[in-house]
Amino acid sequence: MANDEAGRVSRFRPREEDRLAIEACQRGEREAFDVLVERYQRDVYRLCYRYVNNHHDASDLVQDVFLKAYRAIGRFRGDSAFPTWLYRIAVNTCLNFRASRHRPSEELKDDVVDAGPRVDDRMEDDELSQQVREAVSRLPEKQRATLILKVYNDLTHEEVAAILGSTVGTVKANLFHALGNLRKAMAGTAPAGRRLAPDAKKTGES
Amino acid sequence: MWTHLSDDVLMDMVEGAAGDKAERHVAACASCRARVDEARTALGWTAAATVPEPIPSYWDVMRRRVAQSLVEAPAVRSRRPLWAAAAAGAALIAVVVIGPGKAPVPPRATPAASLPAWSPLPPNDEDPALPILELVVAPTVAAATPAAFCSDVSECVGGLSDEESGELADALRAQLAAGRTL
């Protein structure tokens, strides 16, 4: 079982179910791909959402990512874990999308979002959330990709390095720069009370 | 000489994964400590930027959307390399031209281009066997549902199953029996 430098169990450990589904796809059994979609669609959606900041484009990107993965799965040889390979496709798809048509954030439609907390609580949360998302979206390319994968998709430094074709040291440095730039971008806008305890490590949604 | 910590080590500090030496440095260095504190503050803010969770039924809808797009997508590309495709094409031509188990046909006095010559080498653009293969394969490729995911004859032939290869060989025999020549 693969661990990172802090001893955390990797989410990208080899899965027998993935291998079976991939081999079935490579034999032409299209239905087997559904297993992979079911398992990874949430992570891919969240990653895409971080890039585009709206539900509509994120949904289109998720579909595009899985379609590209299906078309290329015949060439997947297991040199890396399947999610590493899939995330690489997702990051490239998002980068291409942003390069082709950068659109501002949109309000989500009520019918695709859970009701969640009370409206007055949500207003403040939504405002801060939006500010942070927009600050993240303005980060330099590599810093943004690193922060999204490491913090929001909760990957290890090694996994991020594999996806971005980088080294662990570079990933850590890029993440540190990203946080520094985020701090500058948010200066004077984020409420002081929002600061978390210094030892807070778990920062992404599940 | 006083040296500040590198950014990757400072990131370890932010995550609580740095060693004792780095901890001691940060405790004594106001500059590094300030950078670590700023990064921790920003890391805390990132937690506020949640992605709104779609309603539960959304994931079923997405799965169906992806499944539908796959139906319209090209078939999975074969893992067989191109040389295998080329070899498969050459082998099929050999079956059609010289027949299984027969000795190679000796050269005839008629023009050399009347029949493709058997070659153990992969066919190339100049191979006289390719045009007839193209004639037989192209309509099948164009009509394939889902669309065939190949760009040339060699690649398409290499991606055929054993059953499809047999059908192609039959089709080639029929073309030759009908008198088609190059």
Structure tokens at A157: 């430094």
- List CB contacts (< 8 A) between A116 and chain B: 52
Kindly report, residue by residue over A163-180, the tens digit of the pLDDT.
Answer: 999 999 999 999 999 999
Please give the angle made by the CA atoms of A144, A147 and A148, to the nearest 5 degrees.
85
Kindly report, residue by residue over B22-33, the tens digit of the pLDDT.
Answer: 999 999 999 999
Determine whether the interchain pair B51/A50 forms a contact, defined as Cβ–Cβ distance below 8 Å: yes
Identify which of A62, A177, A186 has the shortest CB distance to residue B62. A62
DSSP B54: B
- This prediction has a pTM of 0.60
| Interchain CB contacts (distance < 8 Å): A and B | 175
> Which amino acid is it at A135?
A
Distance CA A39, CA B163 (A): 34
Determine whether the interchain pair A194/B48 forms a contact, defined as Cβ–Cβ distance below 8 Å: yes
| Rg of chain B, C-alpha, whole Å | 32
For residue A27, the distance in angstroms to the closest alpha carbon of chain B comes to 8
- Cβ of B76: how many Cβ atoms within 10 Å? 24
- Cβ of A121: how many Cβ atoms within 10 Å? 10
A152 Cβ under 8 Å from any chain B Cβ: yes
pLDDT beyond 90 at B7 = yes
Is the distance from CB of A4 to CB of A10 less than 8 angstroms? yes
Predicted confidence pLDDT, tens digits, chain A (206 residues) = 344 444 444 566 667 889 999 999 999 899 999 999 999 999 999 999 998 888 999 999 999 999 999 999 998 888 888 999 999 999 999 998 988 875 544 333 333 444 444 444 445 567 888 888 888 988 998 999 999 999 988 899 999 999 999 999 999 999 999 999 999 988 866 554 444 333 333 333 33
SS3 A9: strand
DSSP A199: T
For residue A114, the distance in angstroms to the closest alpha carbon of chain B comes to 5
Tokens 């009509």 -> residue: B143
